[in-house]
Chains A and B, each alone.
Chain A
């Protein structure tokens, strides 16, 4: 880099404020971006996003994500590995991490970290998201996105791993789509027993048989939590 040494010296002597730093670091452009919860709060995630293409927004160590309603706090244990630009961070409960299709959370948070009955989530002093009561869907598949509102969940971690989860993995046995596996589903399976379907062939093989019944039994009584 070419510089005019003389003018630099004068500026330095004059006590110039450094106005530009290409190696700057901070946390300012991370925002809480998406939240997801089951109704019982056991399966939750909070996704943050670097929103402005900042190249140095990595100094998260010691910074907090907090829920005003529950009082829960998460403290980032370490700074990020650059570059952070437009990446996501995924804080999630262990029950979320255990779901099929779930991207690996960057950090584990306790169940019911935030309230689905209205909450204010904050990241340090740089971001506040006021979430109205009832705004967070609890249908096991929809999340609340900061920009687009309710929609199919799309958790993404810092490495770019993303996916979509169903907080009710036994949904496959809900033959009549009424959000519970019950005698109505059992009746539907019986009616289709020995046939190819149309809707009770839970394991996707050639026939509705005891294997499908086994799946239904295992899921019996379950509902979106």
Chain B
């Protein structure tokens, strides 16, 4: 032990000298640690105001064709640009698709030049693992083909849609050009139009039998037109407008019924939050 102690003492002298030389005042190295906090705050404390969507979409949901040749037409469904591809705008307009040749998309027959806006609206239903969705409003929406505003997600026949507009359109049915006897019901205008006599409406390529669903979706159609204009200023603002979120670069938030007016960003934590009950 005495030999070890001697070695240790010798080493210590050397060590202390070198440490002082290298570090100067070593106390500065840990001064921050003395006051460091160790918070354990949880992120999910915000109360979420769930607006329950009306259930009127259910009456129409089953009337819309679920299976279709173009379901698997990747080029028509996903934005990409191929100037040498044949123009398929006619088909794209009918099916809320994308024309590779012209590099434009269509939703409710409205032409959308911005790929990111089209993709954010994403008119085609998504397959999710519905068992993983814990948000109460979403669960309700899954059962009733409704929409959960806090999560920005709605459901039609088990498929998920990520904007009020595309959810509304999916709730409608194909416009039928044959049966309308009255002028108001006939195809001709792409503008939202409701006929009280026939108790039916249409927005672009989609027909509605339920006036509330029609009105709601028509409002979203108007927002889409405003968003398309907005793409000239900021494409991400345009995206945020259509889904009532915040532009990730301008930090401007968009609320339903008042597009373009900065507001507090609606919290979007419900999808992640574990069940509270």
Name A residues whose Cβ lies closer than 8 Å to a Cβ of B.
1, 3, 7-8, 11-29, 31, 33, 39, 51-57, 59, 62-66, 68, 73, 85-86, 120, 122-132, 134-135, 137-139, 142, 144-147, 149-150, 179-180, 182-183, 186, 190, 193-194, 210, 213, 217, 220-224
Contacts and interface: CB of A to CB of B under 8 A. Distances in A.
A29 B248 contact: no
B212 interface: no
A22 B127 contact: yes
B59 to A, nearest CB: 15
A21 B128 contact: no
B269 interface: yes
B175 interface: yes
B68 A11 contact: yes
B48 interface: no
B18 A149 contact: no
Interface string B45-78: 0100000000000000000111111111010011
A28 B94 CA distance: 24
Nearest to B115: A62
A45 B24 CA distance: 32
Interface stretch (B35-43, B81-89, B191-199, B255-263): B35-43
B5 A19 contact: no
A224 B33 contact: yes
Contact count band on B = 35 or more
Most B CB within 10 A of own CB, among A86, A123, A149 = A149
A215 B266 CA distance: 51
A20 B8 contact: no
A107 to B, nearest CB: 16
Interface of B: 1, 4-5, 7-8, 11-12, 15-16, 18-19, 22-23, 26-27, 29-30, 32-33, 36-44, 46, 64-72, 74, 77-78, 94-97, 116, 119-120, 122-129, 132-133, 152-153, 156-157, 159-160, 162, 169-170, 172-178, 187, 205-206, 236, 239-240, 243, 245-249, 251, 265, 267-269, 271-274
A213 to B, nearest CB: 6
A23 B236 CA distance: 25
B61 to A, nearest CB: 9
B39 A150 contact: yes
B249 A73 contact: yes
A147 B11 contact: no
Contact of A52 (B26, B128, B177): B128
Contact of B174 (A17, A66, A73): A17
A75 to B, nearest CB: 11
A125 B77 contact: no
B23 A221 contact: yes
A59 B205 contact: no
Contact of B272 (A132, A147, A149): A147
9 contacts: A17-B64, A18-B95, A19-B159, A27-B119, A122-B248, A126-B152, A134-B37, A135-B43, A146-B43
A23 B125 CA distance: 10
A22 B77 CA distance: 10
Nearest to B203: A17
Interchain residue pairs A-B with the least CB separation, the first 3: A53-B129, A180-B30, A194-B4
Given A64-B249, A150-B40, A125 B132 contact: no
Contact of A16 (B8, B42, B95, B157): B95
B29 A221 contact: yes
Nearest to A54: B128
B248 A85 contact: no
B23 A125 contact: no
A25 B239 contact: no
Contact of A125 (B8, B129, B239): B239
A184 B268 CA distance: 48
Contacts of B116: 62-63
Nearest to A16: B174
Contacts of A25: 77-78
